[in-house]
């Protein structure tokens, strides 16, 4: 903790960064993102087990970018978000400085994408065993049972788009669901509109999701949306050998074609 | 009308639901669904989560649903033929076990949808809803009803209000003519209230944290205080969770869904937090960045609504803060606005 305050103070004092995105105390026992812009503000930084939000989503926010050079406290998901965003030309090498808090209290500083790539080769980037178990349970269901499960979950959806807003990969200025002339996805939060929206979003995240789980934790209606995109991680990996957020120059599996691509997914 | 005070036994509460059903009145009440609490049709008292602080969404959806058909039309070579949708199809319904802030939230909606010529889709449903609110024995750190003119025992907007007094009894306030008609359904279960019952002893202690008039004054004067709005909203990610769970947010969008022969026009919830909300056809967006959208949210509730409709557009329920994925806490931000200047 003191290590972090010391480091961020130094980064701000020597103008390496103009703003540092970290965690601070929130309402009740919550933690929230804070945007530290001066050495005095570094005291507000908090680091504990509740600091789980993927802060990488903020590096693309216009008003945050306007504050100047960005530093961010990045967990594994945030580091992967940065690489995935880099591969999609949303962030340039050296544009954002990332600090990773090691379990022993030390910090690792990443000033370029290559160092993140190297770090991730020896880091556990998978989903948790709880999540694996839930996915296994879902996959064990018959197609119609699974269909019913998701339809029941989507019934709760109010289309507040918190999942989309919280997702670092959902950065489109105009989401497909916002395009209504013509209407690709029914805008209404009715049965069909909810289903189409979530399936569209899952497909758009297939092979891009860095399993941070922000979609599910953002959902005010408690829909386990992360399971939908997590389920697509393994088919993309086994089918195309690609894992999101591991390389800054990765070529996106679903937007490229190779003559020897497997076509066994075509029903 | 002058309110009537009665006593009801807790053990008779289940009979109320049975009798409402026997009379043909559907009952909507908070129901636990995993971690969320929804306001839904219930069969019996056992379905109702009376012990929860608040439902996840507000009760507004009972009169202002998230999706509502407002027009049907058919398409032919000769042109479009409109087929109006009857706004008056709802049944008399009892909204049971909601909180005072839910009931009073309808006062804001009444003001918005009641403006001439009057939004019949909302008004007809509201007219047919009788509200039996339960006062709040508990509150949490997100609640601030007393700072915006409400309170844990506020009766505004309720037809009947129930307050638990001790383990066995409920103090019943019959507040409106509609409430009187509903109470007549279980009149035999009511006894006269002894004089001098002070229900405030059984209510949560919700401290006043800011002066609402000061917030209104400072909000109105802070339109150009860009630094204030930016500072408050840097972490805002621009979703609509706050607006959709809010009991008073009433903005909506229209969308047509059609095939080659026919279509429907739908009214859908919308939110000023979305960038699309103000996007012009030209591509220009007058609220270009999130801080301007946050400003709009606060200005609407604390400047425009007081000016135009003579109500503050906030009940202090704190739902927006609880639902916010990034911990935008409206109580905290309003307190800061009250201290500006």
Give yes or no: residues A110 and A173 share one domain.
no
pLDDT computed for residue A264 by the predictor = 77
pLDDT band at B56 (very low <50, low <70, confident <90, very high): very high
A212 and A111 in a single domain? The answer is: no
**Phi, psi dihedral angles at A182 (to 5 degrees):** -80, 170
What's residue B10's pLDDT? 96
Say whether pLDDT at B298 is over 90: yes
Mean pLDDT calculated for residue range B294-307: 97
Of all residues in chain B, what percent carry a pLDDT higher than 90? 96
Quick one: how far is CA B208 from the chain centroid?
21
Task: Please judge whether B239 and A189 are an interchain contact, meaning their C-beta atoms are less than 8 angstroms apart.
Answer: no
Give residue for tokens 């019996």. Answer: B44
Q: Which of A83, A103, A121 is the last residue of a domain?
A: A121
Number of domains in chain A: 2
- Nearest-Cα residue of chain A relative to residue B291: A63
ipTM: 0.95
Domain identity same for A227 and A247: yes
pLDDT at residue B280 above 80? yes
- Residue A262's pLDDT band (cuts 50, 70, 90): confident
Evaluate whether residue A145 is within a structural domain: yes
Q: Is B41 on the interface with A (CB under 8 A)?
A: no
Residue B319's closest chain A neighbor by CA? A220
A267 falls within a domain = no
Tell whether A262 is covered by a domain. no
- The string of DSSP letters for B272-341 reads TTSGGGG--TTS--SS-SHHHHHHHHHHIIIIIHHHHHSS-S-----HHHHH-TT---HHHHHHHHHT--
Strands across the sheet with B93-98, in order?
B36-41, B27-33, B93-98, B129-134, B160-165, B169-174, B4-9, B190-192
Q: What's the pLDDT score for residue B82?
A: 97
**Confidence at A267, pLDDT banded by 50, 70, 90:** low
Predicted confidence at residue A239, as pLDDT, reads 86
| Residue A165 in this model has a pLDDT that exceeds 70 | yes
- Mutation choice for A interface testing from B64, B69, B277, B327 by most A CBs within 10 A: B327
Q: Do B240 and A183 touch (CB under 8 A)?
A: no
Residue A260 pLDDT greater than 90, yes or no: no
Q: Does B290 touch chain A (CB under 8 A)?
A: yes
Task: Indicate the residue of B67, B243, B321 with minimum beta-carbon distance to A27.
Answer: B321
Same domain, A181 and A245: yes
Residues of B in contact with A160 (CB under 8 A): 239-241, 243-244, 271
Confidence of residue A180 (pLDDT cuts 50, 70, 90): confident
Q: Which residue of B has its CA nearest to A22?
A: B235
Mean pLDDT of B22-35: 97
Q: What is the pLDDT of residue A1?
A: 66
Q: How many Å apart are CA A179 and CA A19, to the nearest integer?
A: 34
Indicate the Cα dihedral angle B62, B329, B164, B211, nearest 10°. Answer: -100
Residue A260 falls inside a structural domain: no
- Identify the pLDDT of residue B107: 94
Same domain, A103 and A160: no
For chain B, the average pLDDT equals 96
Question: How far is B160 from chain A, CA to nearest CA, in Å?
Answer: 29
State how far residue A120 is from chain B, nearest Cα, in angstroms: 27
pTM exceeding 0.90: yes
Phi and psi torsions of B313, nearest 5°:
-85, 40
pLDDT of residue B54: 96
Which distant-in-sequence residues (6+ apart) come within 8 Å of B268 by Cβ? Answer: A159, A187, A188, A189, B66, B67, B68, B252, B253, B254, B255
Residue B141 pLDDT exceeds 70: yes
Confidence of residue A266 (pLDDT cuts 50, 70, 90): confident
The answer to whether the Cα torsion of A244, A249, A255, A258 is positive or negative is negative
Measure in Å the smallest separation between the Cα of B79 and chain A Cα atoms: 20
Question: Do the strands B67-76 and B262-269 form a parallel or antiparallel pair, or are they unpaired?
Answer: antiparallel
Task: Evaluate whether B117 touches B108 at the Cβ level (below 8 Å).
Answer: no
Q: Are residues A115 and A135 in the same domain?
A: no
Q: What is the mean pLDDT of chain A?
A: 94
How many residues comprise chain B?
341
Chain B residues 140-159 with CB within 8 Å of chain A: 140-142
Give the bridge partners for A23, in sequence order: A33
Q: CB A188 to CB B268 under 8 A?
A: yes
Query: Within this chain, do residues A164 and A92 fall inside the same structural domain, yes or no?
Result: no
Angle between helices B212-221 and B330-338 (to 10 degrees): 80
% of chain A at pLDDT higher than 70: 99
- Out of A92, A121, A150, pick the residue that ends a domain: A121
Residues of B in contact with A183 (CB under 8 A): 255, 257
Compute the average pLDDT of residues B107-118: 96
Question: What is the tens place of the pLDDT at every residue in B149-204?
Answer: 999 999 999 999 999 998 899 999 999 999 999 999 999 999 999 888 999 999 99
**Residue after which a domain boundary falls, among A104, A121, A138:** A121
Q: Are the beta carbons of B66 and A189 separated by less than 8 Å? A: yes
The residue of A24, A27, A32, A155 whose CB has the most chain B CBs within 10 angstroms, and thus the best one to mutate to test that interface, is: A27
Chain B residues 49-108 with CB within 8 Å of chain A? 56-57, 66-67
Share of chain B above pLDDT 70, in %: 100
A205 pLDDT higher than 70: yes
* Distance in Å, alpha carbon of B182 to nearest chain A alpha carbon: 31
* A266 inside domain: no
- Claim to verify: residue A82 and residue A146 sit in the same structural domain: no
In a domain, A264, yes or no: no
Q: Containing domain of residue A239, as a range? A: 129-255
Which of B71, B237, B270 would best serve as a mutation to test chain A binding (most A beta carbons within 10 A)?
B237
A152 and A108 in a single domain? The answer is: no
Say if residues B106 and B250 touch (Cβ distance below 8 Å): no
B-chain residues near A30 (CB < 8 A)? 327
d(CA A70, CA B295): 25
Residues in chain B with CB shorter than 8 Å from the CB of A187 are: 253, 255, 268
Do both A55 and A77 map to the same domain?
yes
From the list A259, B158, B37, A179, the residue with the least C-alpha distance to B150 is B158
Claim to verify: residue A29 and residue A108 sit in the same structural domain: yes
Question: pLDDT tens across A42-63, in order?
Answer: 999 999 999 999 999 999 999 9
Residue A178's pLDDT band (cuts 50, 70, 90):
confident
d(CA B38, CA B59): 9
pLDDT above 90: residue A179: no
Residue B196's pLDDT is 87
Q: How far away is chain A from the Cα of B44, in angstroms, using its nearest Cα? A: 22
Q: Is residue A105 part of a domain?
A: yes
CB B171 within 8 A of CB B5: yes
A and B: number of Cβ contacts within 8 A: 113
Give the whole-angstrom CA distance, residue B111 versus residue B80.
34
* Backbone dihedral angles phi then psi of residue A164, each to the nearest 5 degrees: -65, -45
Q: Is A248 found in the same domain as A156?
A: yes
Distance, C-alpha B123 to centroid of its chain: 14
User: Is residue A265 in a domain?
Assistant: no
């Amino acid at each position: 903790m003191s290590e972090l305050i010391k480091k961020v103070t130094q980064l701000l004092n020597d103008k390496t960064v103009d703003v540092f995105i970290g965690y601070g105390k929130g309402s009740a026992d919550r933690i929230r993102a804070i945007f530290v812009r001066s050495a005095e503000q570094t005291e507000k930084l908090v680091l504990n087990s509740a600091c789980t939000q993927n802060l990488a989503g903020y590096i693309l926010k216009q008003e945050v970018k306007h504050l100047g050079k960005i530093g961010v406290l990045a967990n594994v998901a945030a580091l992967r978000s940065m690489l995935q965003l880099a591969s999609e030309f949303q962030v340039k090498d050296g544009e954002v400085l990332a600090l990773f808090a090691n379990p022993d209290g030390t910090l690792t500083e990443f000033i370029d994408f290559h160092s993140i790539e190297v770090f991730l080769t020896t880091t556990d980037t998978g989903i948790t065993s709880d999540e694996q178990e839930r996915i296994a349970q879902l996959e064990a269901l018959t197609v119609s049972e699974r269909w019913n499960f998701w339809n029941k979950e989507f019934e709760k959806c109010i289309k507040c788009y918190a999942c989309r807003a919280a997702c670092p990969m959902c950065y489109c200025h105009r989401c497909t669901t916002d395009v209504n002339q013509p209407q690709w996805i029914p805008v209404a939060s009715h049965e069909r509109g909810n289903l189409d929206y979530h399936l569209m979003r899952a497909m758009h995240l297939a092979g891009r999701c860095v399993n941070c789980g922000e979609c599910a934790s953002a959902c005010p209606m408690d829909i386990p949306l992360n399971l939908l995109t997590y389920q697509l991680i393994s088919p993309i990996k086994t089918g195309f050998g690609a894992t999101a957020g591991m390389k800054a120059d990765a070529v996106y599996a679903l937007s490229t074609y190779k003559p020897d691509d497997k076509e066994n997914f075509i029903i | 009308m002058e309110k009537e005070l009665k006593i009801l036994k807790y053990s008779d509460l289940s009979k109320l639901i049975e009798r409402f059903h026997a009379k043909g009145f559907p009952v909507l009440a908070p129901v636990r669904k995993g971690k969320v609490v929804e306001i839904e049709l219930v069969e019996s008292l056992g379905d109702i989560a009376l012990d929860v602080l608040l439902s996840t969404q507000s009760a507004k959806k009972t009169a202002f649903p998230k999706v509502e058909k407002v027009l049907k039309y058919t398409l032919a070579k000769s042109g479009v033929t409109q087929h109006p949708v009857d706004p008056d199809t709802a049944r008399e319904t009892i909204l049971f076990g909601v909180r005072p802030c839910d009931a009073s939230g309808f006062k804001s909606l009444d003001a918005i949808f009641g403006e001439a010529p009057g939004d019949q889709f909302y008004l007809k449903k509201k007219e047919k809803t009788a509200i039996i609110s339960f006062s709040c024995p508990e509150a949490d750190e997100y609640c601030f009803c007393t700072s915006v003119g409400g309170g844990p025992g506020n009766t505004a907007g309720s037809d009947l209000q129930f307050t638990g007094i001790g383990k066995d009894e409920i103090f019943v306030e019959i507040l409106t003519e509609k409430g009187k008609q509903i109470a007549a359904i279980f009149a035999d279960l009511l006894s006269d209230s002894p004089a001098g019952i002070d229900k405030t002893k059984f209510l949560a202690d919700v401290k006043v944290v800011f002066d609402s008039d000061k917030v209104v004054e400072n909000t109105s004067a802070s339109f150009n205080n860009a630094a204030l709005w930016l500072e408050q909203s840097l972490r805002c990610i621009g979703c609509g969770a706050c607006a959709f769970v809010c009991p008073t947010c009433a903005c909506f969008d229209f969308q047509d869904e059609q095939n080659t022969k026919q279509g429907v026009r739908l009214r859908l919830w919308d939110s000023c937090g979305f960038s699309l909300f103000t996007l012009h056809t030209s591509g220009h967006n007058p609220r270009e960045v999130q801080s301007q959208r946050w400003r709009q949210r606060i200005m609407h509730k604390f400047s425009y609504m007081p000016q135009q409709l003579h109500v503050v557009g906030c009940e202090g329920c704190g739902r927006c803060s609880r639902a916010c994925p990034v911990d935008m806490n409206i109580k905290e931000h309003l307190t800061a606005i009250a201290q500006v200047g």
